[in-house]
Amino acid sequence: MNEAADSQNQTASYELEDQVGFKLRLANQRHLEIFNRRMPDITPTQFAVLAKLRNEVKISQNQLGRLVGMDAATTKGVVDRLRKKGLVKSCPSETDMRRLEISLTEAGIAFAADAVTTAHEISAETVGNLTPREVDRLLTLLDKL
């Protein structure tokens, strides 16, 4: 079979339901439905920030964004919303006045602790149809992507 015929055959036999992007989107939608039902007070992105801040005393807003996979504008918006909720605070860096350092408030520490417990339950529900071995394999494969 020549290259043109092979390409045409692949195009003709394209099944959306068999595509990795489609399956990932469906899995993500299921996870988000569970997340929103179980943790309606914050978004998954806000949770990611709170969870990362649990491991940091103070961290620059820029570094925080990089650690949770967000661009600078998105990070600023998320931090602003969490600040309005009283869960995080920011202050100028002691070493670089151009840099904002972000940390959890006392309320944020308590909220994040409860949220992490709920997040474990959300993850368990998301993969509830999988065996522990399948969960390990899925996580390994996702890391490879």
CATH of 19-144, one of 3.40.640.10, 3.40.710.10, 1.20.1260.10, 1.10.10.10: 1.10.10.10
Query: What residues does each domain of the chain span?
Result: 19-144
pTM assigned to the model: 0.83
Mode of pairing for the β-strands spanning 59-60 and 88-92: unpaired
What is the residue whose two structure tokens read 């408030």? 105
Per-residue pLDDT of the chain (145 residues; tens, 9 = 90+): 567 666 666 667 899 999 999 999 999 999 999 999 999 999 999 999 999 999 988 999 999 999 999 999 999 999 999 999 999 999 988 888 788 899 999 999 999 999 999 999 999 999 999 999 999 999 999 999 9
Show the tokens assigned to 133: 């071995």
Give CA–CA dist 20/47, Å, rounded.
Answer: 26
Count of other CB atoms within 10 angstroms of residue 35: 20
What integer pLDDT is reported at residue 32 of this predicted model? Answer: 97
What's the one-letter identity of residue 34? I
Distance CA 87, CA 105 (A): 5
